[in-house]
Structure 1
């Protein structure tokens, strides 16, 4: 299978910079796959799983919102945060989800509710990716 250059960048580091045979991400318009010679594309990425195929095997990571750009030269994801499934601190993710649920239950302000909902989505994404429960 033909490959393409994939680069995933966060504010802290270059998470991935290598060849890939396939990339599957969740965009705001739905799930999308990228193969070599894909047409140019730019799209928003909410929190969700990122699946990268290299040497015929998938590796999965949890992404916390970002932007995807596909061009002839390379495919780039600029993300708030990304971590491999096996690197996720599941205890921290579960605590984060519980804290977010508590804030949502308090219904303090609209701003706090929106922040807590985003925090909950990120935490649930990390939990699902860690457990292999990717929808």
Structure 2
């Protein structure tokens, strides 16, 4: 098993044991299994999944860093939500707000920030399955 600790800027989100940790970095999807060689990698805004107590859990993560060594994973993320915590209406509204900002083409709009907000909202909707 892998001992996994997830930390956000607000503190510890969760600590659990998992038999596999599926994440996405800049190269693509990767599955971390027990006894893997050590790795440090940046995580994309993406879906992360685990197997906890025999059940698959899915999370929307807002990017971050994964450090894995000796069957311990430390995941530092900007934001994280379990699939069960995501509110579809809230995610849809966030997506619409970001799209409107990007369509404005206003000099006062921080394009990079709006693009990231759109990507996070779309990721949350993707984790929900639509």
TM-score in terms of structure 1 length: 0.89
Query: 1:90-129, aligned counterparts within 5 Å?
Result: 90-109=88-107, 112-129=110-127
Q: CA deviation at 1:49?
A: 0.5
Q: Deviations over 1:105-126 (max 9, x none)?
A: 1122497111111000000001
Q: Which residue of 2 aligns with 1:11?
A: 9
**1:6–1:76 Cα contact (<8 Å) kept:** yes
5+ residue gaps, structure 1: none
TM-score in terms of structure 2 length: 0.93
Q: Which residue, out of 1, 25, 28, partners 1:27?
A: 25
Q: Which residue of 2 aligns with 1:72?
A: 70
5+ residue gaps, structure 2: none
Give the direction of change, closer, same or farther, for the CA distance of 1:59–1:104 in structure 2 (3 Å limit).
Answer: same
**1:21–1:55 Cα contact (<8 Å) kept:** no
- Runs of 4+ aligned residues of structure 1 deviating over 4 Å after TM superposition are none
Give the direction of change, closer, same or farther, for the CA distance of 1:111–1:41 in structure 2 (3 Å limit).
Answer: farther
Q: How many residues align?
A: 130
Give the direction of change, closer, same or farther, for the CA distance of 1:4–1:48 in structure 2 (3 Å limit).
Answer: same
- Residue 126 of structure 1 aligns to a residue whose secondary structure is helix
Q: Deviations over 1:6-56 (max 9, x none)?
A: 111111232221211000001111101101111111111111001011233
Q: Which residue of 1 aligns with 2:36?
A: 38
